[in-house]
Structure 1
């Protein structure tokens, strides 16, 4: 089971209900955040905001607090009063904790601690998991580190390894892989390069924290017209071939055809 909501997933603090509709209008899906974006004193009202939200449940994810917190059970209680069924679990570490969710709820596990990344495969294997996302800053904090990036914006090796490990775990179990947020809102070029690398590596979506990042992510995930035309042409050519064949000077085999199918599907998802 996987998740298909589009490439740009926009976080929105659950204590800002006036932003809910606008965030959903701008992005492919909105992540209503009950965790880090909301101060402890505002969490109770944030839950009531989610209970009262009139949003398309097919395009909403609710991020709940970590399972080892007192807020977790309260978050589950409020979800039971809504039609929202896609839930992002902050600081996922123990696959057994996912049993706390109902069979009709779909889990996006956020692997953002050393233990969560280490157990990403076990978490991905859980029957309620539909997607994995990773997080860099909480991961480095869990290791006692100071920063996930170098001064030039490049991820440190530990973050790059965690990113790859979560992506591989998601792929191994047919789950959707979601890339982490780019915290430097004004670094448009850095976000564009990171999102382009996410697409090339196999991520299906990238989360973001500001509406102006949505267009950058969508553009990175959208295949250009020439690539789509080539993918469609090679798939048509494959219909009359058996096994490996030559197309426009290039040897084509099944892995290349899988890439071509992915390009066509991605273009259709983004452009409709």
Structure 2
């Protein structure tokens, strides 16, 4: 079946424009250089899923007209990926039962700690978010045991390396979303073959200890050979037009609000 992926945000943890910065990208009039914190919406079969809920989620949801969310998949527990969880509250009232949040153990523990007023029975009240964390099942801390089946589609958690930490990417149908990563472990490569769309981290021009940079991300595209690739989690090093001018045609920079269609199953 056909699905639509919308980039809710394509920026770094500091966002672009970055506060206090007067560089050419931060002061650019090109709307594609305005990058909120990274997240995507996936819509199919009259359902809406999110990957991450960053601190800009409220504004992103209004901008894209999101009026329903049926599940959220989390990549990791950093602030720019989870702090919008509480904005799910009114949307959680619209689903039957509790809104499922999928996360690995470390991410789940972070969400439960930060939003303890949501998860501790003694602190809950009538307007608390109606959410339920469902923990991803690991196999020897490297490969996840099973896909997540959601509304007629399969989502495969993909282990990634993020500096000294591990994060989770996701493969769904012919697309994969790999944000916040500095490397792809060998055990994950088999799950990233035959892609139509590959979305991956490309923080800046120069190397970074916990993120892939432009040249390294191009190398991942050449390794995995998707039909199309889109870079996200970009900082103010990367001007949209100037960077795309040096990229091959099948590799583009994502931007907030960009929509892609693909097959999901």
Whether TM-score is above 0.5 comes out as no
- Of the two structures, which has the highest relative contact order with CA contacts closer than 8 Å and spacing of 6 or more? 2
Q: Could you say which structure has the higher helix fraction?
A: 1
Q: Could you say which structure has the higher strand fraction?
A: 2
TM-score (ref. length: structure 1): 0.39
TM-score (ref. length: structure 2): 0.40
